[in-house]
Amino acid sequence: MTSRRTFIQIVPIAGLAMLASQHAIAADVDPKDPQAAALGYVADATKADKAKYPKYAAGQNCASCQLYQGKAGDASGGCPLFAGKTVAAKGWCSAYAKKP
């Protein structure tokens, strides 16, 4: 019985630890990641491939994109296009959509 009770006590703690570690290890998207490359993601919007993505306009970046989930002032934040990763506030990709 003791081991069962111990198990019941450990499971929620392990779950919380996993959640915490998932949050902690959310790393910035690697621009070389296939999906990032397909979307033309760059960690520095000024380095966006303007020839390939003529819709890019100076001043656009993840922080002003509708899909950006970071808070104002954060260096990086989530983006639903890159689940489990973060994008740089100063980044950009071709799915950019200006916040209303």
CA dist 29 and 84 (Å) reads 9
Give the CA-trace dihedral at 15, 17, 18, 24, to 10 degrees. Answer: 150
The smaller minimum CB distance to ligand SF4, of residues 22 and 69, is found at 69
- Rounded to a whole number of angstroms, the minimum distance from the CB of residue 19 to ligand SF4 is 23
- Rounded to a whole number of angstroms, the minimum distance from the CB of residue 95 to ligand SF4 is 4
- Rounded to a whole number of angstroms, the minimum distance from the CB of residue 14 to ligand SF4 is 32
Contact between 87 and ligand SF4 per CB under 6 A? yes
Contact between 62 and ligand SF4 per CB under 6 A? yes
Contact between 89 and ligand SF4 per CB under 6 A? no
DSSP sequence for 5-31 = HHHHHHHHHHHHHHHHHHHHT-PBPPT
